[in-house]
Amino acid sequence: MTAPAHRTGRASNYDKHPVLPGGPASACTVGWPAIAARLLATQARVITIEAYDGIRDADLRQLAGMLQAALVVRASDAFRSEDAIDKMLQNTLTDDPVFGRMTDRTLDDLFDPASLAVMRTRVAASSGRVVVYGVGATLITPGDVLVYADLARWEIQQRQRRGEAASLGSTRVDARPATKYKRGYFVDWRLCDRQKQALFDRIDFLLDTTLDGEPHLVGWSTIRRALRVAARRPLRVVPFFDPAPWGGQWMKEVCDLPRATANYGWCFDCVPEENALLLAFGRHRVEIPAIDLVFAEPEALLGARTRARFGDEFPIRFDLLDTMGGGNLSLQVHPEASYMHTHFGVPYTQDESYYLLDAEKDASVFLGLRPQVDPAAMLSDLRAAQDGGPAFPVERYANRFPAARHDHFLIPAGTVHGSGAGSLVLEISATPFIFTFKLWDWNRLGLDGRPRPVHLDHGARNIRFERDTAYARLQLINRIVPLDAGDGWTAERTGLHEAEFIETHRHWFRKRVTHDTHGEVQVLNLVAGDEATVESPDGAFAPFVVHYAETFIIPGAVGPYTLRPSGPRSGTRHGTIKAFVRFPS
């Protein structure tokens, strides 16, 4: 495809590995022998290595073998049987291939009480050094020294796809990645997060095993200091990219991705539940889950009102959807909030919007339904198409609007929608990000060669059929309201819909423009211009450079900050889109 016009002839400056200051190189111990020596130097009799889902058993077993222990206990040996766990979780996971209910269980529910009691007795009776390791190790003993082996969810998914990781309490590493992801999303990661949060003030060391053969150990007090700093300055999480059945070619150039991959459909560049943070210790890079920042500094990061509303969760998600040189996304609908709570145990829903970061001349967005659509006829045609009948006549039922760069389409839950081919969408949404009910997927197979799940029954119960052409034009497309202007800048409101809790403002600027978090977290993307610099008016943090298409987070604790064009093309017009939680005035 032709390179996007604004990037023609220019090298990518998108930073795929943003780092945060961690501490001096001396604070980071690298390699298994050195890590073992550092732990032995504590002279602890009982060393407990608690682990997050996805940590390699072989890694922890190797470390345990170096710690000169008289007794080594593997926590997973106390799991209930696989059949017992499957039965316990049946009502939570359901028979649906995608959706379950958020578990309210805790990690100890997966363990056999009698086996835990035996292990505790063995630890107490041992007179020599004891090492207890694995997910749930602290249920056996907190130890004299507690090491936490952490892992970001994106890395877990990669290990699941490669057949290296099974679900908790399971040996089925060959299960479908989608099955393991579902189990992780609804159960395993929830259990591990709850256990991690309970241990947060008791951890002594953080163990990072992301890089195979290159583990890192850092004192937990050092990690906490780094997170405290991070929650009071601009930051970026580590983005990750994934192919899709409809994926395009735009991100290969703009984000400088491997050209051999057939396409990239997604860039997840602000999903703290799954993204990682990179902490720099000299030349070493320690990777931790970005959600740890939410757990460690919830009020400084989120703000008091946002935390009160959402708890220790990051409620705003930014990601990129690339269909440039690709295909249409599925025709889809998201559940309304009451449906989410009733059926999935999630307190809020995936309201969203499409901001067009780039578009080909014939790009389009499907949004809302045609006037006076007959619901029964539409659902009948959808079921017939799904059952192998004629292709669903999309444009008989759904609106197809032309889409141009910097258009903003608002998509409150219940609205039928889907991006067409030829677009680069910045998707701004609430965070519960798997709750998409596909209605029609163009007779397309997934990357695994299987039909992608379609959820017509769920979708039918959530479609707002009254959201027709007139409604979409009036309520959902380019709701631009001027807000303010100054020397070299303008500000305008672009959404979101009144039914959604996220507000979005766009700034165009050729000179410095002032922003203020007013104590609540903000998420921005540089939607125009090559580079901009975020600065503190009183020097509270070092200048922070962002590049075109990069998403960045401004913690609530930052307060006032400025943005100015920078780099070799600082004289051109720059633009940001900013999202934050809307509260009553």
pLDDT tens, residue by residue, 86-104:
999 999 999 999 999 999 9
Provide the pLDDT for residue 497.
Answer: 82
Residue 346 confidence (pLDDT)? 86
CB 111 within 8 A of CB 195: no
Average pLDDT, the chain: 95
Q: What pLDDT score does 349 carry? A: 81
Per-residue pLDDT band at 10 (split at 50, 70, 90)? low
| Predicted confidence (pLDDT) per residue in 430-457, tens digit | 876 788 999 999 999 898 888 899 999 9
Kindly report the backbone phi and psi dihedral angles of residue 213, in degrees, each rounded to the nearest multiple of 5, phi listed first.
Answer: 85, 0
Confidence of residue 56 (pLDDT cuts 50, 70, 90): very high
Confidence (pLDDT) at 505: 98
299 neighbors 428 (Cβ within 8 angstroms): no
- Residue 9 pLDDT: 44
Distance CA 517, CA 300 (A): 11
Whether the per-residue pLDDT at 428 is higher than 70: the answer is yes
Count of CB atoms situated within 10 Å of the CB of 57: 14
How far apart are the C-alpha atoms of 172 and 166, rounded to whole Å? 6
Q: What is the pLDDT of residues 23-41, one digit of tens each?
A: 999 999 999 999 999 999 9
- At 290-324, the pLDDT tens digits run 999 999 999 999 999 999 999 999 999 999 999 99
Task: Order the strands of the 205-208 sheet from edge to edge.
Answer: 28-30, 216-219, 205-208, 145-150, 46-51, 130-134, 71-74
Three-state SS for 321-347 is EECCCCCCCCEEECCCHHHHHHHHCCC
Q: Does residue 348 have a pLDDT over 80?
A: no
Residue 4: band (very low, low, confident or very high) from pLDDT cuts 50, 70, 90: very low
pLDDT of amino acid 398:
98
On the question of pLDDT at 1 being above 60, the answer is no
Select 481-581's CATH number: 3.30.70.100, 2.60.120.10, 3.40.50.9100, 3.90.1150.10: 2.60.120.10
pLDDT tens digits, residue range 362-409?
Answer: 999 999 999 999 999 999 999 999 999 999 999 999 999 999 999 999
Task: Give residues with Cβ within 8 angstroms of 201, minimum separation 6.
Answer: none
Domain ranges (residues) in the chain: 32-230, 239-285+303-476, 481-581
Average of pLDDT values for 240-251? 97
Note whether 32-230 and 481-581 share their fold. Answer: no
Judged by DSSP in three states, 308 sits in: helix
Domain 32-230 CATH (choose: 3.90.320, 3.30.1360, 3.30.70, 3.40.50): 3.40.50
The CATH architecture to which 239-285+303-476 belongs is Sandwich (2.60)
Three-class secondary structure assignment of 458-516: HHHCCCCCCCEHHHHHHHHECCCEEEEEECCEEEEEEECCCCCCEEEEEEEECCCEEEE
Predicted TM-score of the model (pTM): 0.96
Residue percentage of the chain with pLDDT more than 90: 92
Which residue pairs, CB below 8 angstroms and at least 24 apart, start in 58-65?
59/149, 59/209, 59/215, 60/133, 60/134, 60/149, 61/133, 62/32, 63/32, 63/35, 63/36, 63/133, 63/215, 64/131, 64/133
How far apart are alpha carbons 18 and 20 in whole angstroms?
7
